[in-house]
Amino acid sequence: MTQVRYLIDESLRLSTVAALRRIEPAIDVHRVGQSVMPVFGTPDPAILTF
C-alpha cells in the first residue's frame, strides 16, 4: 500500500490526527504547528503550497 499524505489545518484538534492514525496507520497525517510543518498562523495559500 502506498502512503497517503495529509496536512491538517490548525483549527482541527490533535485528537482528529490521533483518530486518523488509529483508524489507518498507513496514512501519513500531520498538523500545522508540528515539527517541520508550517507554523501556526500560516496563511492558507502558503499551507496549500507546502
- Backbone φ and ψ for 21, nearest 5 degrees, come out as -65, -35
Give me the domain span that covers residue 28. Answer: 4-49
- Is beta strand 4-8 parallel, antiparallel or unpaired with respect to 27-31? parallel
Q: Please tell me the predicted confidence (pLDDT) of residue 45.
A: 92
Q: What is the pLDDT of residue 4?
A: 63
Each residue's pLDDT, cut to its tens digit, for the chain (50 residues) gives: 556 688 988 888 889 889 988 999 888 888 899 888 999 999 999 988 88
Residue 17: what pLDDT?
86
The domain tally of the chain equals 1
Q: Please enumerate in sequence order all residues whose Cβ is within 8 A of that of 20, keeping only pairs 6 or more positions apart, or say none.
A: 6, 27, 29
Tell me what pLDDT residue 50 has: 87
Q: What is the pTM of this model?
A: 0.70
